[in-house]
A and B are shown apart, each in its own frame.
Chain A
């Protein structure tokens, strides 16, 4: 209920006094730069983003020198509990009372849409790293919303194409019943159908389901070649584990995890997950640069980074760069600068941010290694192929974003 009022009443009082400009600080509107990390800190998506995103944001700020334009950069974080109302009211208070300049993470599409809408009213940049729905950059796009890591269009391009080409023509979906799941299911279905496959059925499961058995049996009795899991995080883990318990895969059906994170693979174990193919934006041990950063992250967080963690680091870094180069924290100016920059760091090569907010970058189709192939605890994935940015994301010419077309 009142949990979303992150800071005490005291801060509201402080806000009232702060609102009176004491000194006009150099170029920053309020004398400091504040970045909000709003994520699922306690639930189904905790492992893939959550506290790790705060670590990543802090690393980005430290690596940037801890300050920009001579002023300190602060991080504030909160748990949205996967509830869009709590997300929105936290963001509202952050913006009104804490003078937050940019909000990142937002690993739940419902939360992401509500916060992006609110931030747009308040002219605050959101750099979404965790949510999937393409609505963020399509019909609900905003001039201040950036979608940084992946979307539900990019995910099936690699995974579903590979599955259909290997003979998985008919699909049954088990869908997380909210914005993200619906969007992922629809986009995947479109890819499947465009390749000549067909969707034979769908069942919606509530977010954070513990027992998938009845959904899995429905999928089994549909006789589909592929059971598409349009969900994420702990839900995917539970579904795959229980499919194993009910011998679904042994019955000849294939499972397609449409959104899988390395933390999911780690918690399922290679015995269960081996051979699973999925799409990701980041593989921690792909090269020396990613490995060096990831090992630093691992040291502080106790787990290897997901693509979302790496994305938070990259997003915060590039945001700070844009602030530094433009010499202001004015959202319009910074957003314009971000649109002009070519993004290059350990996470992204030659990335660019489109006017609708999509960050264009390459994605990878990966496969989970066999237990015999894995050399260490986190050596879990093998890159199958690279998905070029222009295939992965919706081309600007086809965008339904009112800002573009």
Chain B
């Protein structure tokens, strides 16, 4: 019930956003919101902390940029190609990383992501420090010109809703329940006969693919694929967004992405103080606010009901 209300609020806010906000900024927020939701699927529901999700976000952006710019793919096909790439490297990463658990898992994903970062820096097609510039926004279905910022906005919003929908379905499926069972008690899940590694890998791949979807979309919006997206700091930021919004809640990551994004935007005139403030929020979240915004609201709501 609460979810339905929240969903309607999100839908209305999303549909009307271009009326009162700079559309490019909102599109950026939507990409990060989807990215955070994808990340949350892994950490919040499967209990796996990946510190390398920027590899999927940034890697997909490069692929999308390349295929739309050099091979003449349309925006939709380009974005799908980017997401597919994220799926492939997600499978490889997942295969390697699930061999280790807990903090090791985090370190391994971080180090693997660093390989992608250096590839992005050094492969000839990525443009290195220059980035992949001049990615065309193109025509959607050959009909709708995405250079129009409103068309672009609703296209991005549609992608966000689709990605969000996939995550919602995944969480509320039997698969999602098994994941949560693994998170709660891995050995118990094992003894119940579940192939735990298989489930973890699948969750990792879905999460990577959707992170890639977000990154690919961002490349089309900004007509740019750049190293920033693949940098480990981006992996850290998506963790922060998820944590602030509420780990393991459906809407938490969306709210977290908006909060962190708007905050960084508001404070950007203060230079590096933004980093200090984000770091402080991180510390506060970890110490006393581990449920995040949505988590706290849910707790209050359930207390009232109970």
Contacts and interface: CB of A to CB of B under 8 A. Distances in A.
A175 B67 CA distance: 29
Given A84-B224, A110-B131, A9 B21 contact: yes
Interface stretch (B82-90, B181-189, B263-271, B287-295): B263-271
Interface in B87-139: 121, 128-131, 133-134
A88 B224 contact: yes
Contact of B131 (A6, A42, A97, A114): A114
Interface string A167-191: 0000000000111000000000000
B268 to A, nearest CB: 5
Contacts of B24: 89, 92-93, 96
Contacts of A13: 20-21
A2 B274 CA distance: 10
B264 A1 contact: yes
Nearest to B130: A110
Interface in B173-222: 222
Contacts of A85: 131, 222, 224, 226-229
Nearest to B61: A85
A177 B228 contact: no
Given A84-B130, A89-B222, A2 B268 contact: yes
B58 to A, nearest CB: 11
Nearest to B225: A85
Interface in A154-212: 177-179, 206-207
B40 interface: no
A5, A7, A11, A13 interface centre (most CB from chain B within 10 Å): A5
Main DSSP-derived SS at the A contact region: helix
Contacts of A291: none
B7 interface: no
B78 interface: no
Given A2-B28, A113-B130, A16 B20 contact: yes
A178 B130 contact: yes
B234 interface: yes
Given A84-B226, A85-B226, A178-B128, A2 B265 contact: yes
Contacts of A179: 129-130
A12 B176 CA distance: 39
A247 interface: no
Interface residues of A, number: 38
A12 B21 contact: yes
B131 A8 contact: no
Interface string A239-276: 00000000000000000000000000000000000000
Q: In the A-B complex, list the 5 residue pairs whose CB atoms are closest, starting with the nearest.
A: A12-B22, A85-B226, A2-B264, A178-B129, A5-B265
13 contacts: A1-B264, A3-B274, A5-B28, A7-B269, A11-B22, A42-B272, A84-B129, A85-B222, A86-B228, A110-B131, A113-B130, A113-B133, A206-B129
Interface of B: 19-22, 24-25, 28, 32, 121, 128-131, 133-134, 222-224, 226-229, 233-234, 237, 260-262, 264-266, 268-269, 271-272, 274
Given A41-B271, A206-B129, 16 more contacts: A1-B32, A2-B261, A2-B262, A2-B264, A5-B268, A9-B266, A12-B22, A12-B25, A84-B129, A84-B133, A84-B224, A85-B227, A85-B228, A88-B222, A117-B133, A178-B130
Interface of A: 1-9, 11-13, 15-16, 41-42, 79, 82-86, 88-89, 92-93, 96-97, 109-110, 113-114, 117, 177-179, 206-207
